[in-house]
A and B are shown apart, each in its own frame.
With several copies, the nearest count.
Chain A
Amino acid sequence: MSLVTVQLFASYAESLGRPTITIPLEAGGTVRDLVENIRSLPGAYVLPESPRVAINRRFASPDQLVDSRDEVALIPPVSGG
């Protein structure tokens, strides 16, 4: 079990009330596992069925492994431009 720091932005940061959260994750845990663990937090109703996750500043697939040293972020629907 390790702790993963996850950056939040925009509507996610607002709904979960913080810009970063720390989430426990089993060794060998994936992006999918991480998201499931986040769902138990208050305000996590804001997350869609498959929120986009970035690992080390790249979009990650649900099956990608997460390491506690990774830079992890939840990416709300983008609306730049």
Chain B
Amino acid sequence: MRRVAIVSREITPAALIAEVQSAEFGAISLFVGTVRDTNDGRSVAAIDYSAYTEMAESELEKIIAEAEDRFGVAALVVEHRVGALALGDVSVAIAAAHAHRGPALDATRFVIEEIKTRVPIWKLEHYIDGGREWVDPSQGRGVISA
């Protein structure tokens, strides 16, 4: 089971677990990213996620192929949501299954780290104080403030 998707609906982590689960695997690792109420000391009200969808899915496919090569994890499902997300909403979920725990945990961490550096998805944060900012992890702060 290998699948990636950029989705514009709610992500259900339990569905990803069910997708990778199999009696041949003894370990499932799931990572879930959610919209946090604070970033860089500012109170976040909501986040708009956008993507270059075709390339994002293509990069995600490459990342899970690399994870399979590195860790031998054949069951790996990734969903990333785009659109207007509220506080607490799930933005990304990654589920990996393997016979043993080590590779399942390694694969999950690898995928989220790679997503953060090379998958073309962007966050526009809206703050409680009315401001908004494109999040730019390479700068520590966004590139456009308002």
Please list the residues of chain A having a beta carbon within 8 angstroms of any beta carbon in chain B. 7, 9-11, 14-15, 46, 54, 57-59, 73, 75-81
Contact = CB atoms under 8 A, between A and B. Distances in A.
Given A57-B55, A78-B116, A14 B122 contact: no
A62 B100 CA distance: 34
25 contacts: A9-B50, A10-B50, A10-B122, A10-B124, A11-B122, A11-B142, A11-B144, A14-B134, A58-B55, A73-B120, A77-B139, A78-B118, A78-B119, A78-B122, A79-B134, A79-B136, A79-B137, A80-B56, A80-B92, A80-B120, A80-B122, A80-B123, A81-B33, A81-B92, A81-B116
Interface of B: 33, 49-52, 54-56, 58-59, 80, 91-92, 101, 112, 115-124, 134-139, 142-144
A79 B139 CA distance: 11
Contacts of A10: 50, 122, 124, 134
**Chain B facing A: main interface SS:** mixed
Contact of A54 (B55, B139, B144): B55
Given A9-B122, A14-B134, 16 more contacts: A9-B51, A9-B120, A10-B122, A11-B142, A54-B120, A75-B120, A76-B143, A77-B143, A78-B137, A79-B122, A80-B80, A80-B120, A80-B122, A81-B91, A81-B101, A81-B112
B117 to A, nearest CB: 7
Contacts of B144: 11, 14-15, 46
A21 B118 CA distance: 23
